[in-house]
Structure 1
Amino acid sequence: MPTNGTTNGASNGTAPHPLDVPRGLAGVVVTDTALGDVRGREGFYHYRQYSAVDLAERRGFEDVWYLMFYGELPDAAALAAFTARTAALREPPAEVAAALPALAGACAGSGPLAGLRTALSLFGASAGLRPLYDLDADRRRTDALAACAVVPTLLTALYRLGRGLEPVEPRDDLAYAANYLYMLTGEEPDPARVRAVERYLVSTVDHGFNASTFTARVVASTGADLAACLVGAVGALSGPLHGGAPSRALDTLDAIGTVDRIDPWIRERVLAGDRIMGFGHPVYRTEDPRSRMLRSIAEEFGGPLVDFAVRVEARVEAILAELKPGRELHTNVEFYAGVVMELCGLPRTMFTPTFAAARVVGWSANILEQAADSKIIRPAARYVGPPPPQPVPAR
């Protein structure tokens, strides 16, 4: 494992001393994976042996789901069978469906992603999901398929119930992305919007050992059931420094408002040390390939919002280069993801849930991979408190 130069060998011949590593485990390799990688200096990431952006441009969501779970792209027959199989799993158990109205009401102030945590827990219990440790590989994958298939249904139902609307039943004649938009709006989805959303979903299925994926793998390493792993991942995703940023990036455009306010608004925020949502990434040192693809999708739609976003992007990068020389700060996936989802009619409260509807496949693939390794993830921490042991004072 890479370190910052401190390696102490073994302690009394049995256990190694703890290793000093960078804060946040930045750059530290913790395991092997066959699922994909992110090459930050190249501006490239992939799912297994394929470019993720190429997959988003050329394949559908079910193709990539199959790839992540089975290690290869399906042929036409395998894709048809897989699509039919997963479409049949979209209905939640009756106990879960019955609990959703109360759950949506309880989470009215925090949104569908908060409700998903509890809904997934209930789904795991209702579906009888057993610890991964006790299951064979086929049973684990069956559980993962069911969880991935039901997440869009849960998210859209929680959103609609929170707005006083009835949930929309899933349709098994629609593919994943089209069915998601249908359940969200209750209307036949526009093909152009479906394809735009599908390309976004494919582009966000997986992205290396990000915080939510790593969280899912930590829980999986304990042998817990699949729902428990996904709940942990959703909790990590909810943070604004992870998947919670698409709507905030769009809020930035709203706050700037007009072209004449772009430069003064940006300068004020940068000089104050504020973070500009939608810019910068912990891994990429060049343009985020997801942002590049999503910008092209936005430009296919065109319109004032897209023109303004492109103008803001250019000025933010120029001003950051001026005020923070030597640092590579470009738009990340959240900036244009917000623009694309806005253009496709998704409400802002569903931006991060939509991200989760895609990333659940990547989480699950990582959970399945981790479950094949019985080693629990158990790092160490450096104690920096008062020196022990000290006498316990009397009352």
Structure 2
Amino acid sequence: ATVSMLVDYDTNIQDESKEANLERATSLIAKIPTIVAYWDRIRKDLPVIEPSKDLGHAANFLYMLTGKKPDPDIAKDFDICLVLHAEHSFNASTFAAREVASTRAHMYASIAAAIGALSGELHGGANVKVMLALKEIGSIDNVEGWVKAKFDAGERVMGMGHAVYKTDDPRAKVLREMSKRLAIKLNVSWYEMTKKLEDISKDEMMKRKGVEIFANVDLYSASVYYMMGINLELNTPIFAIARIAGWTAHVIEEKFAEAQPKPMLYRPAATYVGRYCGPMGCEYTPISKRKD
């Protein structure tokens, strides 16, 4: 909703030149972290903190969130997290952004669509579920029993497996080492619990189904953000803070036909595969015979 409202502050909204869209992209990349930080503080009845000219993009967000200039190492790690989440091909939110852009709607409409797609639990929010699982497990001694119970129940272990990667997610490799480093620095067990969850999940998948499964980007980003002192409710907004760079780049590419010879409206085809009446069945009941 906030992104949609930004249209009212764009005095040049009718200008659809590439230069104007690049300016909008830069503006959105700068504004979204400020909006998220302000929202978090306002809902806690805390005064908002304006960004500091002395800090970079990542460090400024942490500063606006807490009111304290972050540890340089934490700020550097958070910057790496933003880079790792900035772009990842045609995922659901990126497709939503490009589809809206293909209609030649303005940049804000495309980004609002992307954020809407990200809000779904199958796209954004997975690392929140990972951290909630770790907190539910409680200690490293409980990991194995918890994972096996999930497999017994046919339930998914969040943070494991990916729709595209059938090998190690390269982003997870970086976050795994970051989680380990932060856990040592803070003397907490979140990394050890996460690593054991990963190892047991891989073992169980191989034993039960004979296939390999690997950690995805959400498994270790969960503990990384938590150890940085970031509230779980902010994990998905932080995803948007990072991905705004990728979304806006995709929108610009789509708008200016750099991905195809000429502008083209997205119009996916649908194949009818047979009669379907839903859970209520196909029988029609006249209004006069329907129950109140």
Partner of 1:344: 228
Partner of 1:235: 116
Alpha-carbon deviation of 1:126? 2.4
Deviations 1:229-259 (A, max 9, x none): 0010001111121121111111111122223
SS of 1:208's equivalent in the other structure is coil
- Describe how 1:369-380 pairs up with structure 2 within 5 A: 369-373=253-257, 374-380=263-269
Match of 1:315 among 200, 203, 212: 200
Match of 1:330 among 210, 214, 227: 214
Tell me, in whole angstroms, the C-alpha distance in 2 between the residues paired with 1:394 and 1:204. 53
Tell me, in whole angstroms, the C-alpha distance in 2 between the residues paired with 1:270 and 1:386. 32
Partner of 1:142: 23
Alpha-carbon deviation of 1:304? 1.6
- Describe how 1:1-395 pairs up with structure 2 within 5 A: 118-128=1-11, 130=13, 135-301=16-182, 302=184, 303-326=188-211, 328-373=212-257, 374-383=263-272, 384-385=274-275
Fraction of identical pairs, as percent: 35
Tell me, in whole angstroms, the C-alpha distance in 1 between the residues paired with 2:286 and 2:191. 67
Tell me, in whole angstroms, the C-alpha distance in 2 between the residues paired with 1:333 and 1:191. 23
Deviations 1:243-283 (A, max 9, x none): 21111111111122223322221112112111111111000
Tell me, in whole angstroms, the C-alpha distance in 2 between the residues paired with 1:378 and 1:126. 31
Partner of 1:105: none
When normalised by structure 2's length, the TM-score is 0.88
Alpha-carbon deviation of 1:385? 3.8
Task: Letter of the 1:317 partner, please give it.
Answer: K
Coordinate RMSD, CA, aligned:
1.9
- Where relative contact order (Cα < 8 A, 6+ residues apart) is larger, the structure is 2
Task: Letter of the 1:322 partner, please give it.
Answer: K
Indicate how the Cα distance of structure 1 residues 257 and 144 shifts in structure 2: closer, same or farther if over 3 A, else same.
same
Tell me, in whole angstroms, the C-alpha distance in 2 between the residues paired with 1:194 and 1:394. 65
8 A contact 2:125–2:236 mirrored in 1: yes
| Bigger helix share | 2
- Structure 2 residue runs without a partner (length 5+): 258-262, 278-283, 288-292
- Structure 1 residue runs without a partner (length 5+): 1-117
8 A contact 2:6–2:108 mirrored in 1: yes
Tell me, in whole angstroms, the C-alpha distance in 1 between the residues paired with 2:238 and 2:203. 31
Alpha-carbon deviation of 1:386? 6.3
Deviations 1:180-235 (A, max 9, x none): 10111111111011011011111110001111111100010010111110010001
Task: Letter of the 1:323 partner, please give it.
Answer: R
Task: Letter of the 1:304 partner, please give it.
Answer: S
After TM superposition, the runs of 4+ consecutive aligned structure 1 residues lying more than 4 A away are 392-395
8 A contact 2:115–2:240 mirrored in 1: yes
Larger deviation, residues 197-206 vs 267-276: 267-276
Partner of 1:18: none
Deviations 1:271-325 (A, max 9, x none): 2111111111000001111111001111122232212221222112111221221
8 A contact 2:41–2:65 mirrored in 1: yes
8 A contact 1:148–1:361 mirrored in 2: yes
Deviations 1:100-141 (A, max 9, x none): xxxxxxxxxxxxxxxxxx11110122224636xx61111111
8 A contact 2:140–2:192 mirrored in 1: no
Alpha-carbon deviation of 1:394? 8.6
Larger deviation, residues 211-220 vs 160-169: 160-169
Indicate how the Cα distance of structure 1 residues 129 and 166 shifts in structure 2: closer, same or farther if over 3 A, else same.
farther
Task: Letter of the 2:144 partner, please give it.
Answer: D
